[in-house]
Structure 1
Amino acid sequence: MFVDHTLESAPAASRRAMEGTVRHLGHLSPAVARMAASPHALEGFLKMSALFESTTLDPVAREVVVMTVATRNACALCVDMHTAKLRGLGAAEELIGELRAGSPLSDERLDAVREFTLAVYATAGAVPDAGLEAFLSHGYTRQNALEVVLGIGTYTVSTFANRLTGASH
């Protein structure tokens, strides 16, 4: 069983990252509190997350990647956290509902992101040319394709850690 670490109970090497999370979110999420058991996993996820947030994919497209990973990997905590993030971005409730259900998206351009994310997972990155071309045909770039891979890696770490530690319930 994993414990919800506090700033006082966490390994010393996790505390700086935890403090940064509290400053950023205003609270310590159960995911961070439990991932703090491994300073390396926590810092790795937070660094990867910051890198993903700085990509050229627009914020809603990034959230499509995250929600696609979260629903695929059955991380309820991630779905809830990123639902709130989508609402903060002003995303339509229809889009949020579709993402939460793991359904095709009414917005064809955003659905191209969802489909590409699923194709990367299904093929372990060996997406057929037609799959990449379908993604690119919606105005995305090869750089964006690699940014989707970064997002998948980032949120695979998060969803797997949350499920392992029991934070995803």
Structure 2
Amino acid sequence: MTFTEHTLESAPAASRKSMEVTIRHLGRLTSPVAKMATSPHVLDGFLAVSGIFERCTLEPPAREVVIMTVAVRNECHVCVAMHTGKLRTLGVDEELVSALHEQRPLADPKLDAVRRFTLAVLATAGGVADEAVKDFLSYGYTEQNALEVVLGIGTYTLSTFANRLTGAGL
């Protein structure tokens, strides 16, 4: 099945405001947003929760580790490409980017704790063993950060699943 890649003119009226905001923010309408526009609820929901995730207390590289861990695991090539660019904008080491792509441990122990915790949450549907939580906290993260990892997982599970379902590209 082919999903429509909407323009401002073809999109449901309820999606147009979010599409316009995206254009102002990114300078263009991305394929994922154009395809999510088929459902104003999905588009608005994703943009709202991604905005909330961007404002959480996890540092930007840690947020990107969560996103890339989910995107690579879920094989969402558009998210992997977009967030690889974001990581490079943040000035992270190329080895970190490669390790995330290849699902390998990260050289930075604190960021690897985020990667491992993200995978543990995904593998257990949140039923993470106490030892895994204690390990995550031992790197200076907080209980709030642990819940913010869950927020990131939820946000980017929505995105990666929608992108794969609709066949969104870059």
Normalising by the smaller structure, the TM-score range is: over 0.9
Partner in structure 2 of residue 96 of structure 1: 97
Gaps of 5+ in 1: none
Offset, 1:8: 0.7
> What amino acid maps onto 2:63 in structure 1?
R
Relative to 1, partners in 2 of residues 1:26 and 1:104: Cα closer, same or farther, differing over 3 Å?
same
Partner in structure 1 of residue 25 of structure 2: 24
Whole-Å separation in 2 of the counterparts to 1:159 and 1:75:
5
SS at match of 1:83: helix
Whole-Å separation in 1 of the counterparts to 2:104 and 2:126:
22
Matched-pair contact (CA < 8 Å) for 1:78–1:168: no
Point out 4+ residue stretches in structure 1 off by more than 3 angstroms: none
Paired-residue identity, %: 66
Mapping for residues 1-169 of structure 1, pairs under 5 Å: 1-167=2-168
Matched-pair contact (CA < 8 Å) for 1:71–1:102: yes
**Count of matched residue pairs:** 169
Offset, 1:82: 0.2
Whole-Å separation in 2 of the counterparts to 1:79 and 1:129:
30
Relative to the length of structure 1, the TM-score reads 0.98
Cα deviation code 1:111-130 (max 9, x no counterpart): 00000000001110010000
> What amino acid maps onto 1:92 in structure 2?
D
Matched-pair contact (CA < 8 Å) for 1:62–1:151: yes
Offset, 1:105: 0.7
Whole-Å separation in 2 of the counterparts to 1:19 and 1:32:
10
Relative to 1, partners in 2 of residues 1:122 and 1:168: Cα closer, same or farther, differing over 3 Å?
farther
Matched-pair contact (CA < 8 Å) for 1:57–1:147: yes
Whole-Å separation in 2 of the counterparts to 1:129 and 1:155:
25
Cα deviation code 1:14-57 (max 9, x no counterpart): 00000111111111111001000000000000000000000000
Whole-Å separation in 2 of the counterparts to 1:103 and 1:121:
16
Offset, 1:91: 1.0
Offset, 1:168: 5.1
Gaps of 5+ in 2: none
Whole-Å separation in 1 of the counterparts to 2:6 and 2:100:
31
Cα deviation code 1:80-137 (max 9, x no counterpart): 0000011111111111111111211111110000000000011100100000001000
Whole-Å separation in 1 of the counterparts to 2:101 and 2:6:
29
Offset, 1:3: 1.4
Relative to the length of structure 2, the TM-score reads 0.98
> What amino acid maps onto 1:132 in structure 2?
V
